[in-house]
Amino acid sequence: MCRKNFISEKVTVSVTRMLFCMLILYSGLSDMHNAAAKETDGEIKGGKSTAFQLIDFTLDSPEGALSLKDLRGNVVLIFFGFTSCPDVCPISLSTISHAFSYLTDDELKRSRTLFISLDPERDTMERLKKYTGYFHPNIIGVTGTMEELVRVTDIYGVKFEKKETPDSALGYLIYHSAKIFVIGTQGELRKTFPHNIDAQLLVRQIRSLLKGNQL
């Protein structure tokens, strides 16, 4: 009888410990989920988007100061990077260029991309214009002071950091978030895509927003 009670108590303690561990694990996962949701506010979650109006910003382009509100009526794709980026930036801009190649002339008239350089130290207006020209004429390079860039990246939840690379000829690299932001015709954030999205999905999104659909 005593042995049965001992075994029963042992099982109860084991089950209690297991439930306690599961509770801690669930709490930790919940905190991680909440943190991720906070960090990616406004992005697509599960293929759906939450549209909200963005704070306007103004940065320098090769043609002069350019504000997001200047592009109202257009679907605008936004990507943050820098011209010395070895991989993610050229791949992303190539994908956007590929998507633009599927659009009709009328659709192209109302489609733009802002390539926001996070490296104002090296990315002059001349360099930005030359770099974006490799990809598509509707891709506009813009940048600003570090204070202005921090303000804009805060709006979009983009993280970036300058890291010295003494063994590289570049001297330093900019580590940054790699997402394509899709802005609707009224200046509202519609969706956020990973940088390696299929071009056809971008085409569908652009066309849907140009038609006024809330895809």
Residues 69-108: tens digit of each pLDDT: 999 999 999 999 999 999 999 999 999 999 999 999 999 9
- pLDDT computed for residue 54 by the predictor: 72
Q: How many domains does the chain have?
A: 2
Of the two residues 203 and 19, the one the predictor is more confident about is 203
Residue 184 belongs to a domain: yes
**Residue 52 confidence class, pLDDT cut points 50, 70, 90:** low
Does residue 99 share a domain with residue 23?
Answer: no
| Averaged confidence pLDDT in the chain | 81
Q: What pTM does this model have?
A: 0.75
For the segment 30-46, the average pLDDT, to the nearest whole number, is 33
CATH number at residue 95: 3.40.30.10
Q: Is residue 215, in this structure, part of any structural domain at all?
A: no
pLDDT for residue 170: 83
What is the pLDDT, as a whole number, of residue 25? Answer: 34
Same-domain status, 23 and 88:
no
pLDDT of residue 29: 33
Residues 137, 163, single domain; the answer is: yes
Domain match, 24 and 104 both:
no
145 has pLDDT over 70: yes
Could you tell me the pLDDT band of residue 55, with boundaries at 50, 70 and 90? confident
pLDDT exceeds cutoff 80 at 61: yes
Q: Are residues 134 and 167 in the same domain?
A: yes
The stretch 158-163 carries a mean pLDDT of 94
Claim to verify: residue 122 and residue 28 sit in the same structural domain: no
Closest CA to 142 of 199, 54, 57: 57
> Of all residues in the chain, what percent carry a pLDDT higher than 90?
68
Statement to judge: residues 29 and 113 lie in one domain: no
**Is pLDDT larger for residue 132 or for residue 13?**
132
| Residue pLDDT, tens place only, 4-36 | 444 344 434 343 444 333 333 333 333 333 333
Same domain, 8 and 87: no
pLDDT for 165 equals 86
**Residue 30: per-residue pLDDT:** 34
Q: Tell me the residue range of the domain where 26 lies.
A: 1-39
